[in-house]
Amino acid sequence: MSLSNSLKATALVSVTAAATTVLIQACGGGDAAAQSATQIDPIVGVWESTATIKDCSTGAALGSFKGNSMFHHGGTVSADNSRPPTTRGAAFGTWKNEGGSVYSATLLFMRFNPDLTLAGTQKAKVTRTLSADGNSFTSEVTGQVIDTAGTVLSTYCASDSGTRVTW
């Protein structure tokens, strides 16, 4: 093999190895991939649920909707629901373990007016408790509807329950 071909082969292997490393890291690999499943926090995964909006004073149910959430390794969460996408965007936030099977999460999403202009945001604070087997949960939610100037327009309460998405 000539020196030129040898250098080309070495460069190709190096570039391939570097690209593979970047891809593994981007997909959540590296140290996390080396951990066993028991070391990953039980809340990590995809969940489907039904949320019920409640009257904060009486607890009376006012309506419900379906939702999906993904709790990512490292403390971030993303979520969406069955409400029309023209009225709001997907939710993004953070989560942390409060001890044992209790977790807290804060979610934020954009809200839109009927003419599709930005109406503001909505923030939800969630307290989620996992079942003993880690495959279902119940949650209590409090939230704020906020205008584009940052003024809280209203507050709301909800409950949420669901299950882990599995194959």
Output the DSSP codes for the chain.
--HHHHHHHHHHHHHHHHHHHHHHHHTT-THHHHS-GGGS-TT-EEEEEEEEEE-TTT--EEEEEEEEEEEPTTSEEEEEESS-TTTB--EEEEEEEEETTEEEEEEEEEEE-TTS-EEEEEEEEEEEEE-TTSSEEEEEEEEEEEETTS-EEEEEEEEEEEEE---
Does the pTM surpass 0.85? The reply is no
Of 106 and 18, the one with more pLDDT = 106
Per-residue confidence (pLDDT) for residue 12, from 0 to 100: 35
- Cα 9 from Cα 112, distance rounded (Å): 54
Average pLDDT over every residue of 122-129: 97
Express each pLDDT in 73-88 by its tens digit. 999 999 998 887 778 8
Q: Is the distance from CB of 120 to CB of 145 less than 8 angstroms? A: yes
Sign of torsion over alpha carbons 116, 51, 64, 143: negative
Tell which residue, 87, 94, 42, has the closest CA to residue 65.
Answer: 87
Average pLDDT over every residue of 129-158: 97
- Cα 51 from Cα 124, distance rounded (Å): 12
- Top CATH class of 40-164 equals mainly beta
Tell which residue, 125, 66, 64, has the closest CA to residue 93.
Answer: 125
Give the residue extent of every domain in the chain: 3-34, 40-164
- Cα 86 from Cα 57, distance rounded (Å): 29
Per-residue confidence (pLDDT) for residue 38, from 0 to 100: 52
Average pLDDT over every residue of 108-122: 94
Range with the lowest mean pLDDT among 23-27, 37-41, 109-113? 23-27
Range with the lowest mean pLDDT among 30-34, 123-127, 150-154? 30-34
Share of the chain above pLDDT 90, in %: 69
